[in-house]
Amino acid sequence: MTGIGEIVVQPPHTVTWLVHIDRTMWVGGVRGLMLQALHPLAMRGVWQNSTFQEDPFGRLRRTADFVGRVTFGSPEEADEIGRRVRGIHRALRIRDPGTGATHRVDDPELLLWVHCAEVSSYLSAARRAGLRLTDGQADRYLREQRRSATYVGLHEEDVPGSLAEMRDYFASMRPRLAVTPEAVAAVRFLLWPKLPEDLRFLAPGKPAYFPFGALCYYTLPAWARRMYGVLPEVPQVSVTAALRVFRLAMNTLPEPVHDHAFMPGTREMLARSRQRLGAAGYDVGKGLKGLTDPRRWPSPTG
C-alpha cells in the first residue's frame, strides 16, 4: 500500500477515522464545550480570550477545523495548525478575579482538561448513537488521540490512553470542577447560539437548533447535568433514541452538503485530502466517509 503516513495524519484504518468521520461529532463537539466549561479556570480562559459570547458556534467550527486537520490533513497541515495553536496559547493569560493571580492558557492541566473533555465526548456520543466499537477499539481510539494531544503541547505519556484511564482522570478532576456564572452562560449560549455570518441563510431553521442543543446537554454525564441543572431531567432512553435518529439523519446527507457547515478553509483541506487519497489508489467516489469501507482501500499489492 502507498505510504499512507505521507498522505493523511490518521489513515482510514484507524479508529480515529471511524469516530471523526461520523456526523455525531457535532453532538460530541457541543457536549465537549459544555463539559469543558465546568473547569472554572478553563472557562475563564475562554471568556477572557475569545469571542465566545458573540460567536459560540464559531468556536465549535474552529475546534472542528483543528480536529479535521490533525485527522484528515497532511502531516504538514497538522504540524502547521499545531504550531499556530501553541503560539496563540503561549501568548494568552487568564486572570483569576477571586485571587488576582494570572495563569497561562497553555498550563498543562488546562490543556489536558480540554483534550479529555473533547475526545471523551466524541467517543461517547458516537458509541451511544450507534457506532459499533468494542471496548478494545475505544481504548485504541484514546491511544491514537494521545498523538493529537501533542499538537497542543501535551506529552503523550501524560494523556489517558484507555477507557479506564479516562474514567480515573475524570474522577480525579471532579473535586476541582464548579458551576460558575460563565459556565451557565456558556451552556445557555450553546443551547441558542448566534449563527456565523456565512451561515445566516440557515436562520429560518434556527428554532430547530434548541432541540439539538438540548440533545447535546442531555448526553453529558449525569454528574455534570446535576451540577448544571439548566434543563429538567428526561428519561435517558429517549435521549439515546433521539441521538440515534440524529445520527441516521445526518449520515444520509451527501458529503458536500454536510461539509458546508465547516469553515471555508476546512472544506478546502478536506478537498485536498480527497485528492491525495484518490491519487494513492483509494476509491473516494463516496467521499471520505466512504473510506470506512475497506473495500475502497487500495489492494496490498496495488
Question: Residue 1: is its pLDDT beyond 50?
Answer: no
Q: What pLDDT was estimated at residue 93?
A: 93
Q: What pLDDT was estimated at residue 192?
A: 74
Nearest to 23 by CA among 273, 225, 261, 265: 261
CA angle 276, 279, 280 (to 5 degrees): 85
| Residue listed under C-alpha cell 483569576 | 96
C-alpha to C-alpha distance for 170 and 208, rounded to whole angstroms: 32
Q: What pLDDT was estimated at residue 2?
A: 43
Instruction: Read off the pLDDT of each residue in 50-56 and give the average, rounded to a whole number.
Output: 75
Give 220's Cβ-side CA count (13 Å radius).
28
What pTM was computed for the model? Answer: 0.92
Instruction: Read off the pLDDT of each residue in 77-89 and give the average, rounded to a whole number.
Output: 96
Instruction: Read off the pLDDT of each residue in 212-220 and give the average, rounded to a whole number.
Output: 94
Residues forming beta bridges with residue 94, ordered by sequence position: 103
Count other Cβ atoms within 10 Å, centred on residue 236.
Answer: 13
Q: What pLDDT was estimated at residue 193?
A: 59
Q: What pLDDT was estimated at residue 97?
A: 83
